Amino acid sequence: MDEAAARPALVDITSVTKTYRMGDFDVHALRGVTLRIAEGEFAAIMGASGSGKSTLMNILGCLDRPSTGEYFLDGAEVSRLEADALAEMRSQTLGFVFQSFNLLARTTALENVELPLVYTGLRPALRRARAKEALERVGLGERLHHHPSQLSGGQQQRVAIARALVNRPRLILADEPTGNLDSHASLEMMALLQQLGDEGMTIVLVTHEPDIAAHARRVIVVRDGLIERDSPIEAGRWTEAPRQAGHPAAPVRVASP
Ligand code: ADP
Ligand code: MG
């Protein structure tokens, strides 16, 4: 048994389907997905447009329920929970990062990060201290009082990561977190997610870019509502085609004349 399999699964999904009714048609967005993600894993979900990535993320994130199948999140069966209980599960267990940052424009970085704590009953001074700590963790300790418009795209997404971390979630879900970033900021974002992964945070991210997925430790490829491929990444490398055993990514050699 490998190291990840020996740990209890934080996410434990069995035979999950999701069917949307569209007029007279049934759209089978997920057709039987079984997936386990252990505490501390950093997984990327890839797949073509329409393959079911967002549907899977919505179920993972307790934003939607499966049509059939089971979902245990942190040991609790959540697939039949009502909306209120799902919302509770979300606020206690999950942190979300979106492609479009979703920050409040007229509000400082610190206030943006504090927002998820406003309804927790924590004292304001404690809220502020936690928000500051989360911003320091993403390298923005010097930008606490900046508004989003005074920050670069990469910095704004780091504020969003701090906001996702401030509730001390068990799992971070990121849907195309680099989708609005240039390549330099994307690399910085992936380095930050790797750092959080190294610190023990469990992360699931959706991306359609193989270069981005290659920074995760595991790549799950979804196709037509099914998991088509699920493979670990050795030493931060992943390629579209499986490599032959015993032939790790070799440096490219340029033939000399
Ligand atoms: P992806 O995120 O990989 O692009 P989605 O999970 O958004 O894929 O969609 C998977 C399939 O389910 C697609 O055929 C899509 O049209 C359909 N679908 C997604 N959401 C809905 C919905 N709310 N109502 C009807 N069909 C939907
Ligand atoms: Mg999608």
Q: pLDDT (tens digit, 9 = 90+) per residue, 132-178?
A: 999 999 999 999 999 999 999 999 999 999 999 999 999 999 999 99
Q: Which of 18, 60, 21, 82 is nearest to 202 (CA)?
A: 60
Q: Which of 60, 63, 69, 56 is nearest to 29 (CA)?
A: 56
Centre of ligand 1 from the C-alpha of residue 52, in Å: 6
- pLDDT value at position 251? 37
- pLDDT value at position 119? 82
Centre of ligand 1 from the C-alpha of residue 16, in Å: 15
- pLDDT value at position 121? 86
Distances in whole angstroms, Cα of residue 126 to Cα of each of 116, 117, 123, 240: 13, 10, 5, 46
Fold exhibited by the domain 41-54+83-232: Rossmann fold (3.40.50)
How many CA atoms lie less than 13 Å away from 175 in the CB half-sphere?
17
Both tokens of 33, joined, read 């997905």
Q: Is the CB of 51 under 6 A from ligand 1?
A: yes
Nearest C-alpha to atom 15 of ligand 1 is from which residue? 50
Residue ranges of the chain with per-residue pLDDT less than 70: 1-7, 235-257
Nearest C-alpha to atom 1 of ligand 1 is from which residue? 50
Q: Is the CB of 207 under 6 A from ligand 1?
A: no
Distance separating alpha carbons of residues 69 and 67, to the nearest angstrom: 7
Burial class for 81, CB neighbours closer than 10 Å (0-12, 13-18, 19+): middle
Nearest C-alpha to atom 23 of ligand 1 is from which residue? 20
Q: Residue 91 phi/psi, 5° resolution? A: -70, -25
Nearest C-alpha to atom 5 of ligand 1 is from which residue? 52
- pLDDT value at position 226? 98
- pLDDT value at position 120? 85
Which ligand 1 atom is the nearest neighbour of the CA of 51? 3
Q: Could you report how far apart the first and last alpha carbons of the chain are, in Å?
A: 48
Centre of ligand 2 from the C-alpha of residue 49, in Å: 6
For ligand 1, mutation pick of 17, 18, 20, 206 (most atoms within 8 Å of CB)? 20
Q: Is the CB of 22 under 6 A from ligand 1?
A: yes
Looking at all shown ligands, the one closest to residue 48's CA atom is 1
Distance from CA of residue 150 to its chain's centroid?
A: 26
Q: Are 249 and 241 in contact (CB under 8 A)?
A: no
